[in-house]
Structure 1
């Protein structure tokens, strides 16, 4: 018999906060990602971390806490972020999720992050391609 597994039954807001805080500590120290985040976020880490906790709570627990537009936020980053940034972001995310959660729960966070990264990168690439076409 298959038992339905729901992250809402197994994941707490405190665990999400630990994941987000640990992950973004690593991001800030990363040679590739750190400068990008420093440029975009500057000294506004507390609000960013709270926003990311709300985002992941909404995504995994369906809490409805996140109010924002991640697609637009990522489109406006200059200089442009690309595949190498998303690959590094996912690598750090996988590592951190595996350290915080059991494998079954970590895989939920990783699958959601991979899906989100794929959609963001596709949209960023399409957006910049359309900009290039309109400038010709």
Structure 2
């Protein structure tokens, strides 16, 4: 093992621990993220616009989807490293999704945080990440030309 690899590995490990500690101070932990994900997707499923889109894609695999989303949010919020997947690829194959659907998705996420976040800081931390995720998905799905180059419009 080289010294530079050892130093880099140590820095990554320390950074992950720092993120988890900061999240913990805000009240974010895996138990909270589980509640948040369950509540959020209950709202999605009952939404007249988004519910049918998700039901068409997920069908009878909601338990598996919720478990995957809990691992995803643990990785996003806690740097847990428990999720591996390609969200852009999955979202790009969805049928019937419009750019405006992301505004609805974010509004439901904000409502979820308003009701479940343990602290205002936790709500802000998680909403910031949700907005970045939405922006990335929007860009991949709606703001690229056919050859994959980002649109300047």
Q: Is TM more than 0.5 here? A: yes
Equivalent pairs, count: 126
Cα RMSD (Å):
1.7
- Taking the aligned partners of 1:73 and 1:126, their CA distance within structure 2 comes to 17
Judge conservation of contact 1:23–1:92 (CA < 8 Å) in 2: yes
Q: Structure 1 length as normaliser, TM-score?
A: 0.87
- Taking the aligned partners of 1:32 and 1:86, their CA distance within structure 2 comes to 11
Among 82, 86, 89, which residue is 1:72 paired with? 89
Judge conservation of contact 1:82–1:121 (CA < 8 Å) in 2: no
Judge conservation of contact 2:99–2:142 (CA < 8 Å) in 1: no
- Taking the aligned partners of 1:43 and 1:68, their CA distance within structure 2 comes to 20
Question: How far does the alpha carbon of each residue in 1:21-70 deviate from its partner, in whole angstroms, 9 at most, with x for none?
Answer: 00000100001100100110011100000000000000000000101010
- Taking the aligned partners of 1:73 and 1:8, their CA distance within structure 2 comes to 30
Among 1, 5, 12, which residue is 2:29 paired with? 12
- Taking the aligned partners of 1:90 and 1:24, their CA distance within structure 2 comes to 12
Deviation at 1:99, TM superposition (A): 1.2
Q: Structure 2 length as normaliser, TM-score?
A: 0.77
Point out 4+ residue stretches in structure 1 off by more than 2 angstroms. Answer: none
Q: Secondary structure at the match of 1:91?
A: helix
The gaps in structure 2 that reach 5 residues or longer are 1-18, 148-153
The structure whose Rg is larger is 2
The gaps in structure 1 that reach 5 residues or longer are 132-136
